[in-house]
Copies of this chain bind each other. A is one copy, B any other.
């Protein structure tokens, strides 16, 4: 396979040469699969066999409760893994579904091989462990950020909390977000139509502007009125 080009730019395998990477692929019993847009990479409730990594493309982690409410937990981009934390805490079934948002290549890795140190020749396993640790820490921060947005009382404040972070990340008050409107509503746990109304109101007030998934945040306005 020539997936090494993709793997070499991931956080997990980036610092590892192609030869060692190959050895590790073997050790982790990796297999690759390509998913079409909308296909489920993992299904909520199914037993966990592997840790998955997005090699190319992207996916959304979502949770559907008994009442049918959809909650978007996060988005996974290239290089990101899912299923690691569950493996560490010993969960046996997926708590969420992972759904491809475009044509997406996924690498499946044996969950046990990944987290236990091995006696094999893949001598870079320690580096991978370190990298995974880093990624779990980053995910933690990501979840804390989501909590910060969701803890806001009003839809407007939730949106502003999210937009402010995205602007900071982009280092610009003009930025693109990885969600469409429906997904954003499910990410922030607000009603989509109510959110749509609120966004329109914010635009009328000159606070923000947007087109598709691109947004502009008028920070001057924000600071003036606080």
Contact = CB atoms under 8 A, between A and B. Distances in A.
A144 B89 contact: no
A134 B116 CA distance: 12
A203 interface: no
Given A69-B153, A133-B129, A85 B141 contact: yes
- Tell me the number of copies of this protein: 2
Report whether over half of chain A's contact residues are helix, strand or loop; otherwise say mixed: helix
A137 B189 contact: no
How many chain A residues sit at the interface, stated as a range, is 20 to 34
Given A63-B151, A73-B147, A84-B137, 4 more contacts: A63-B148, A133-B133, A151-B189, A153-B189
Interface of A: 63, 65-66, 69, 71, 73, 84-86, 88-89, 91, 95, 129, 132-134, 136-141, 143-144, 146-148, 150-153, 189, 226
